[in-house]
Structure 1
């Protein structure tokens, strides 16, 4: 029986997409002020420091984390290290609307990862939904122009985001198929902190490579807006959004929560219009409709 969707749960599941849309807009605003891979490192370093008083027990020597360190190296690399770094790289040349719309194509990548890695055969409804979602992504990449699609001129940011979504699908399947169930009993702060700690290793390597590519150092144009943006992505888009999402999913399950995740492009379009002067185009609305239709179709039984 499907749990009832209360107003409180609906609010929790709406807050997360709103905060993640804000993350995309802030990432766009940071272009030129903070290098993207450095931004990702600073974001999760600050988030770890804030989370440490709550989840420090998971890092104790002899604790339950260390026998599973290989698993968390992958989780941290895919979730904290790769996805977020690629998203900030994507925002260097793409827009928050495009980035969040491409991210909303997740059902395609989820089905592919499940079929290839776990032999989860998709149902016909899921395949139909995946086609609709993929059409939405193609519409975003082509900018609504058939000539552009035929020329296959992709903005580098669009390609970065496609790779990021594929890696997030792998990350999600790792969460859904844990090697054991004991980690499910951890406090949410412990589970997230464990991922962040190992993700910081990957983020540090990526930021180091970015520094080498810029002659051995990177410059951050510190200012009050930059500091405020960093606080937002570290606290609101990371800790608050993850916590609200976890509580919402626990209340009604992932099937209902998935519909709320597709509010992110809508919020990104509204925030971009208000803050960046980038009003949404007709193809953004059409692509969003296709992606939502794909998810609705794929979830029908």
Structure 2
């Protein structure tokens, strides 16, 4: 696997966090219109309908899809069903800035999971970078106050996002394993549809549970319709496609650096669209998190 970051790869890995930041903003803005798990189900159902005309052939018996259904089911569970559901749940009690900054701990989880489960060696620079990133995340979780850090009480959204970061790390490492049928892996729409089809099924199960335990309602209208269309096309299809190609080119550890652009984009968008101004501690945390990833990735040529 090459570690060289070309301009085209850098662009792909920048588009993904831009779309994810927009997803956080939209997810926060439609809090009162649709339940979070249901939002995720609608989002990926629309994405699947868009992908079907492009790659419905994968459902043929001889395409390799059914022979590798366990792998695609796992990718769909992690990348579509769990990660996005957890993010929308996090946005119920956390701001987009906080959610994306906590998610910026993802490269740390990439390193840990790569070491523990995929046999990747960690250098001293990567360890130092991980410590810097963890400190940055702790600053976000404590809201920038030492006394809160000493008596740290995580809100539900913070915990959901930490779990989501771990889930996405597993998903990203699994993408690097060349176990997919070449016909599917070489076709971006087919590769996405193979994951999304199972992801929608998993999301449907989660939605059934959400509606079974709660008295919920959906406020239909143009604001919700526009939001669903955006999250289905931008943060789902476009971002997942760009991230998948970027990870396959440079690996999860280097790609993780670009994921830290998400809180920067989210801070700008929150200020512009939600009136949620970033605080001083957000800036300190962002510098530490990005600095940590820069230090971690300097070993790679």
Task: Give the TM-score normalised by the residue count of structure 2.
Answer: 0.92
Q: Which residue of 1 aligns with 2:239?
A: 241
Q: Which of 266, 269, 274 in structure 2 is aligned with 1:268?
A: 266
Conserved 8 A contact 1:5-1:252: no
Deviates most, 103-112 or 240-249: 240-249
Comparing 11-20 with 122-131, which one deviates more in the overlay?
11-20
Aligned to 1:284: 282
SS in structure 2 of the partner of residue 93 of structure 1: coil
For 1:1-301, list aligned pairs within 5 A: 3=4, 5-6=6-7, 10-179=10-179, 182=182, 185-215=185-215, 218-246=216-244, 257-301=255-299
Q: Does the 8 Å CA contact 2:176/2:248 hold for their aligned counterparts?
A: no
Cα pair 2:40 2:88 within 8 Å, conserved: yes
Deviations 1:88-146 (A, max 9, x none): 00000001111111111112111111222123231111111111111111111000011
Q: In the TM superposition, what is the alpha-carbon distance from 1:198 to its structure 2 partner?
A: 0.7
Aligned-partner SS, 2:67? helix
Change (3 A) 1:122 1:11: closer
**Cα distance in 2 for residues equivalent to 1:152 and 1:261:** 26
Q: CA deviation at 1:11?
A: 4.2
Aligned residues: 298
C-alpha distance in 2, partners of 1:239/1:72? 16
Q: Once the two structures are superposed, what CA deviation does each residue of 1:33-57 show, in whole Å capped at 9, x if it has no partner? A: 1100000000000000001111111
Query: How far did residue 241 of structure 1 move?
Result: 2.2
Query: Within 2, Cα distance between the matches of 1:122 and 1:9?
Result: 24
Q: 1:148 to 1:122 in 2, by over 3 A?
A: same
Q: 1:211-258: CA deviations, max 9, x gaps?
A: 00124xx42101111110110000111112233445556777766644
- Post-superposition offset of 1:183: 6.5
Q: CA RMSD in A?
A: 2.1
Contact 2:184 2:190 in 1 (8 A): no
What do the CA deviations read for 1:11-66 (whole angstroms, capped 9, x no partner)?
44433221110000000001111100000000000000001111111111232011
TM-score (norm 1): 0.92
Unaligned runs of 5+ in 2: none
Does the Cα contact within 8 Å between 1:48 and 1:197 map onto a contact in 2? yes
Helix, strand or coil at the partner of 1:201: helix
Q: Equivalents in 2 of 1:3, 1:126: separation in Å?
A: 18
CA distance in 2, matches of 1:181, 1:67: 9
Q: Distance in 1 between matches of 2:147 and 2:184?
A: 50
* Partner Cα separation in structure 1 for residue 157 and residue 58 of structure 2: 36
Q: Give me the whole-angstrom Cα distance separating, in 2, the residues matched to 1:269 and 1:224.
A: 25
CA distance in 2, matches of 1:270, 1:118: 36
